[in-house]
Amino acid sequence: MAASDLKGVIAASITPFTPDLDVDVKRLAHHCADLLSASCSFVSTFGTTGEGASLSTREKLSALKALKAEGADMSRQIPGVMTPTLDDAAEMVVGIAEAGCRAALVLPPYYYGTSEEGIASWYDALIERTQSATSIDILLYNIPQLSRIRFTADLIKTIVSRHGSRIVGVKDSTGDADNGVMLARTFPELAIFTGDDRVLPTLLNNGGAGMIGGMPNVFARDLVSLYNNPADADTLAKQTQRILAVDKGGSLVALKAALAHYSGDPELARVLPPLKMLEGQGLTELLASFSQSGFNAAS
């Protein structure tokens, strides 16, 4: 594998916000450091869990510069590029490289439905626009339920055939274990990650690299344990129960609410509109489910 360091549990970080809805860089830096201290391999900021599609390129690049100024280990950052706009995507990729980040996780251009050749051509244009400034590694982000674009084996082959070692991996957020296994077997030269804890053991047993997901924001140590011991059926069962509870609570808003509760910092629960914070009965049910799964925030 060309990028053999790209493996393990990569935490798709939440993004803390100030009351004015600016990125709270100090809290973000502290949280990223906590995730790395919990043995996550890397942190992926400004992806789906990080509300990256609700933030402008200016906001995200400013936050990355500020993170670097705070002393964050940028070599262990793999920020998301989430925009249908070629110009913004190119600016983001260059900015990620200038910040010293390890790689960029690039969502395909959503909104307009198009052919696989159209998607491949967008990546052609992105790499052409940025190649004079950077040769930073790129991971493809497969989340068709939101982007409306599925990275089939044929599409990945086309992109890799044109750009070779620039494409180092795929985050497969389909939640489909068979799809993840197919990608790992078809592309042994790529780091194939799942976005779903429940798929992690199967993927690892078939040559996958690990996971990039939101659950490590609260359960990093359990997920690192599962990565190190994929046969641990008890931890897998607990994570399955937790995922169901998080999904019921609204996914990323549930993760932020839980993190705020367990850390004793209610500011971490704040989300950008149109999302709404999880409160009241919903939060009570979420925490009760976590308690039933044997979660101990101090562990």
Taking alpha carbons only, the member of 165, 164, 181, 226 closest to residue 201 is 226
Active site residue 171: yes
Do the annotations mark residue 114 as ligand-binding?
no
DSSP codes joined into one string, 196-238: -GGGHHHHHTTT--EEEESTHHHHHHHHHHHHH-TT-HHHHHH
Taking alpha carbons only, the member of 122, 113, 125 closest to residue 149 is 113
Residues in the chain: 299
Q: Which two tokens stand for residue 258?
A: 């839980």
Instruction: Report how far Cα 170 is from the mean position of its chain's Cα atoms.
Output: 11
Out of 7, 68, 171, 238, the active site residue is 171
- In degrees, rounded to 5, the angle at the alpha carbon of residue 132 between the alpha carbons of residues 84 and 41 is 65
Do the annotations mark residue 212 as ligand-binding?
yes
Coil, strand or helix at 100: coil
Q: Is the dihedral of CA 157, 158, 159, 164 positive or negative?
A: positive
Active site residue 123: no
Contact call for residues 32 and 78 (beta carbons, < 8 A): no
Out of 68, 123, 141, 256, the active site residue is 141
Alpha helices in the chain (DSSP H): 25-37, 57-69, 86-98, 116-130, 144-147, 153-163, 177-186, 200-204, 216-228, 233-248, 252-263, 280-292
Residues that are catalytic: 141, 171
Annotated binding site, which residues? 49, 212
Annotated binding site for pyruvate, which residues? 49, 212
